[in-house]
Structure 1
Amino acid sequence: MKVLLLKDVNGTGKEGDVVEVKDGYGKNFLIGKGLALLATNEVLNKYKAQQRKKAEIEAQEIAEAKELAEKLNSTKLTIKHKVGANGHLIGSVTNKEISEELSTQYGIELDKKAITLKAKIKAEGIFEVDCKLGHGIHATLKVDIIGVQ
């Protein structure tokens, strides 16, 4: 009996493989537990179509991430933060604050979890912030911190 594996199965094969197995093992274990489907032409064609669609979506996401990376690399974000009497920032600038300002000033929606600070920003100046955009694509955003009384 030929089956299309929907998940990796130790000793049998990996997801997407069409393998020959014994009838009992195929019907009772693999198909019964939802690990495989009977490998008919209809099932194989449907699986290939799903894989193509998944690849197209992933390619589109990668293209959008690269476009956003170019935009972020050329962007300089200005954040005004309160300064104490001694001239130092009160508290520190957080990734949440950077995310909100990016949304307000440029209309770029970026989750605060995607923004990585190398160290806490506790002084005025220009800092580089790493932004993870998915699919292994990163961007560097320049953040200019200006103190305000």
Structure 2
Amino acid sequence: MQVILIQDVDNLGGANELATVKNGYARNYLIPKKLAVEANASNLRQLEEKQKVKAKKEAAMLAEINKVIAVLKESPVKVSAKTGTSGKIFGSITALQIARAIRDQKGYEIDRKRIHILDEVKELGTYKASVDFGNGNTTEIEFEVTGE
């Protein structure tokens, strides 16, 4: 029997996927627990409509991500830090500081957990960081550490 999964089911598939299971498993477990519905013509049309809406949302999200990437690559983000007389900074630059600098200078809110600094930052200069937007979309940005 073919069913359309409403929720993720272990060892079977994810939500909004078509799955073939035995009749008893579908009628006695999946359908009563509202994990799946029978794959009839009406439900298949609804599934196609959901997939079209999902594709449109993903295309819009990808366009927004590309727009953000273009803005981030325009110019380096400036991050200020307290420094000693020799140009070494006290402590090091963190992803939180970079996220705040991006928010203040570029106007985009990026979660600090998505920013990965490639090199250890202990001195003034220009460095690179990687930003992961999810779905395989990553980019490298430059940030410049300046003294306060």
The TM tier, using the shorter chain, reads 0.7 to 0.9
Q: CA offsets per residue over residues 42-99 of structure 1, 9 Å max, x none? A: 2221121111111111121112112211221222111221112443111111110111
Which aligned pairs between 1:102-117 and structure 2 lie closer than 5 A?
Answer: 102-117=102-117
Corresponding position: 1:95 with 2:87: no
2:18 equivalent to 1:17 = yes
Deviations 1:5-49 (Å, cap 9, x if unpaired)?
305575xx6552264743x44311231233321223222211211
Shift of 1:146: 1.3
Alignment partners' CA distance in 2, 1:126 and 1:50? 45
Identity %: 26
Number of matched residues?
Answer: 144
Match in the other structure for 2:62 = 62
Contact 2:131 2:138 in 1 (8 A): yes
- 3-state SS, counterpart of residue 50 of structure 2: helix
Q: Which residue of 1 aligns with 2:81?
A: 81
Q: Distance in 2 between matches of 1:108 and 1:74?
A: 14
Q: CA deviation at 1:126?
A: 0.7
- Structure with more contact order per residue of length (Cα contacts < 8 Å, sep ≥ 6): 1
Measured against aligned partners, the alpha-carbon deviations of 1:100-145 in whole angstroms (never above 9, x if no partner) come to: 1111122121111111012321100111111112221112211111
Q: Unmatched 5+ residue regions in structure 2?
A: none
Which residue in the other structure is 2:4 paired with? 5
Please say which of residues 123-132 and 27-36 is displaced more in the overlay.
27-36
RMSD over equivalenced CA pairs, Å: 2.2
Residue 52 of structure 1: aligned partner: 52
Conservation of the 8 A alpha-carbon contact between 1:126 and 1:145: yes
Task: Identify if the C-alpha distance between structure 1 residues 143 and 25 changes in structure 2 by more than 3 Å, giving closer, same or farther.
Answer: closer
For normalisation by structure 2, the TM-score amounts to 0.83
- Go from structure 1 to structure 2 and tell me whether the alpha carbon gap of 1:47 and 1:116 turns closer, same or farther (over 3 Å shift): same
Structure of greater Rg: 1
User: After the TM superposition, which of the residue ranges 96-105 and 30-39 deviates more from structure 2?
Assistant: 30-39
Question: Please, which runs of 5 or more residues in structure 1 have no aligned partner?
Answer: none
**1:84 counterpart letter in structure 2:** G
Structure 1's 111 and 20: CA in aligned 2 closer, same or farther, altered over 3 A? closer
User: Is 1:29 aligned to 2:29, yes or no?
Assistant: yes
SS at structure 2 position matched to 1:32: coil
Task: Note closer, same or farther for the CA distance 1:28–1:82 as it changes in structure 2 (3 Å cut).
Answer: same
